[in-house]
Amino acid sequence: MDKNIFAKLIANALNLQERAVANTLALLEEGCTIPFISRYRKERTGGLDEVQIAAISDRFDKLQEIQKRKETVVKTIKDLDKMTPDLEKRIDACWDATELEDIYLPYKPKRRTRAQVAREQGLEPLAQLLMLQRERDPERAAERFVKGDVKDTETAIKGAQDIIAETVSEDERSRQQLRNAFSRQAMISSKLVKAKADSDEASKYSDYFDWQEPLKRCSSHRLLAMRRGENEGILRITISPNDEEAVDRLKRHYVYGNTPCGQLVGEAVDDGYKRLLKPAIETEFSTLSKERADEEAIRVFAENLRQLLLGAPLGQKRVMGIDPGFRTGCKIVCLDAQGNLLHHEAIFPHPPVNKRTEAAIAVQKMIQKYQIEAISIGNGTASRETNDFIKDVLAGRYNIDTKKNDGLVKPQVFTVSEDGASVYSASKIARDEFPDEDVTVRGAVSIGRRLMDPLAELVKIDPKSIGVGQYQHDVDQTKLKHSLDQTVESCVNLVGVNLNTASQHLLMYVSGLGPSLAKNIVDYRKENGAFTSRAQLKKVPRLGPAAFQQCAGFLRIPGAKNPLDNTAVHPESYTVVEQMAKDLSCSVADLIADKEKRESIDIRRYVTDEIGIPTLTDIMKELEKPGRDPREQIEEFEFDKNVATVDDLVEGMILPGIVTNITNFGAFVDIGVHQDGLIHISQMANRRIAHPTDVVKLHQHLRVRVIEIDHRRNRISLSLKGI
């Protein structure tokens, strides 16, 4: 297949320049990754971003699938000896999957239908006579076909009607006409399956026991909720247009008047619509609406995941990680600035044990001994109580000798999401890291490390287990994994990775590496010590020139002899920076340190066939802030001290909160009462907004107003309006 045709089709579909698309396809075919193309090949792509490049890649994959399907269609029709030049030309020009299937449908091998039986009985000529509607007496016309298995004229006419019904259902115009009706006016309806009315599972779908709305207005989360109810056998879902109007429109094409033949054709159209055409298009729209709902849910999940992975890092500090609990106690770990485990123990400050003083002494001793600079507390069970307890300890509210701690800075206290910590603690990655520790210790380590660097820790966990999705188990799992893997790869490469401290699991997401090369890098590091230059990567087994080109710009070496090795400047551009420094009679380090020198450079002088203004502009930005972490600075947070449970809430209260999850319909916020509240999208602003992410982001600290407390359903409604 000519790649130029694909480039043209994609460019038209995405409204992009054909040359940029063609170059992007060529780069992808060469094995370049999306982050690499986006950052280091702007001249060839015209500055396309990662989203556009990913869209080109996805569209190219779909076109290849259609091309393969076209080959199958052509072969099948040729084997039937029914291919014509016009038909082959139509198939060759077709790049719409639905249209292709419509073209193929009359030739598609199918089970033995009623129409097929009628054809075998020689009734197709009768069906054609009836459709022409010129016969005044169809009974008399049918007499000629009474023979063999056709016992009488009634059987003959019935068989002919079966052929007409199938012909109508397979006609491209009929199918497109009904699709238009579905698009304009189809209603999705949900009914309770009576046999399940008294089941415990049914109650959670009570909103959909008798629900109806236009399909085109049905939101992703409602459709996925209904489909889940259907899969569990609790709901029955139908999608239908106005049947009477749809059939009338069809008859206008096939029925020419109120004649005996016209009446028979009309009956056949009715039958074809109800038995064949409508079920087929309903299935098509059911699939299509589910795909669209999946795409929206996956998009929301990917955006939430991106925000979570790019959460503000504390950095390399000595951290105490706490996995809070009541009966089983709080599991505590002490980590050094690199995240290595130094110590762990359990304390029991809460009911039913209530050893608060002993727990306070233990915490104080650990802070002193391990010079703890920050405390990370998981946001699960007993989180609020543990947070209050730790702050009481730091405030000196227990009778503890703190003289030894004089002069030490009190640790900052943070609450972090512990979603997925239990998944990590039981994983092979955690077992390999801590083979001699149990799951509780591993979970507390994860909570501590998430504070230091969320990205480095969260990449170890299956994204689906991180808890920021919307019906993630109901969507297409292959598409979900593809999207989330792309998101993780994008975030890792946006931030950059310290070549000498990154784990194997973090390295595997770096452009061009993968699990095998990531392991080889870690093994090389163990055997030869820390990397001192990017060039050393070429000595890593099986890391060839192609992999080096893809990964080098995303790997950082703090303190390297060449300062460019700790920047996003790609090694292929080092000579340009060195020439700039040479022209100014200074070193590269001087160029980075001296703003005036950088501002005196005219980058147009350094344009070559390979390096243009976009790359040179990026280089100058990087020299201004070499190795800069694009993530925000972390901030401490504190819940309202007067509110600890739902019973403490009063409508009208204004409280501090943290955004824990974002969906299409709103954002969930932790206000410290063991139950997240919901800010519905309608309560986010005094203007209409397209999506909650226009106003809030994951883990954002904000102030909210309590507008409703539903104790029966344990729901809290919040608002941002007027705050």
Confidence of residue 406 (pLDDT cuts 50, 70, 90): low
Above pLDDT 70, what percent of the chain?
Answer: 98
pLDDT tens across 577-629, in order? 999 999 999 999 999 999 999 999 999 999 998 899 999 999 999 999 988 88
Rounded to whole angstroms, the Cα distance separating 131 from 492 reads: 64
Rounded to whole angstroms, the Cα distance separating 444 from 435 reads: 15
405 has pLDDT over 80:
no
403 has pLDDT over 70:
no
Rounded to whole angstroms, the Cα distance separating 653 from 647 reads: 13
Rounded to whole angstroms, the Cα distance separating 141 from 236 reads: 45
Q: Are 690 and 701 in contact (CB under 8 A)?
A: no
- Of 623, 559, 564, nearest to 597 by C-alpha is 623
Confidence of residue 201 (pLDDT cuts 50, 70, 90): confident
pLDDT tens across 637-696, in order? 889 989 989 999 999 999 999 999 999 899 999 999 989 999 999 999 999 998 999 999
Rounded to whole angstroms, the Cα distance separating 569 from 563 reads: 10
What lies within 8 Å, CB to CB, of 22 at 6+ separation is: 3, 4, 7
Residue entry with tokens 């039981």: 426
Is 188 in a helix, a strand, or coil?
A: strand
- Of 456, 487, 512, nearest to 521 by C-alpha is 512
Mean pLDDT for the stretch of residues 542-554 = 97
At residue 462, the pLDDT reads 87
Rounded to whole angstroms, the Cα distance separating 633 from 656 reads: 19
Structure tokens, 423: 């998944």
pLDDT tens across 484-510, in order? 999 999 999 999 999 999 999 999 999
At residue 395, the pLDDT reads 87
Rounded to whole angstroms, the Cα distance separating 392 from 396 reads: 6
pLDDT tens across 224-253, in order? 999 999 999 999 999 999 999 999 999 999
Structure tokens, 641: 């001290």
Rounded to whole angstroms, the Cα distance separating 465 from 450 reads: 15
Structure tokens, 353: 């044990």
At residue 402, the pLDDT reads 52
At residue 407, the pLDDT reads 53
Mean pLDDT for the stretch of residues 362-366 = 94
pLDDT tens across 316-356, in order? 999 999 999 999 999 999 999 999 999 999 999 999 999 99
Cis peptide before 352 (omega within 30 of 0): yes
CB atoms < 10 A from the CB of 150, how many?
A: 20
Rounded to whole angstroms, the Cα distance separating 104 from 97 reads: 11
Q: Are 297 and 618 in contact (CB under 8 A)?
A: no
Whole-structure pTM value: 0.87
Torsion angle defined by CA atoms of residues 458, 461, 466 and 470, in that order, rounded to the nearest 10 degrees: 120
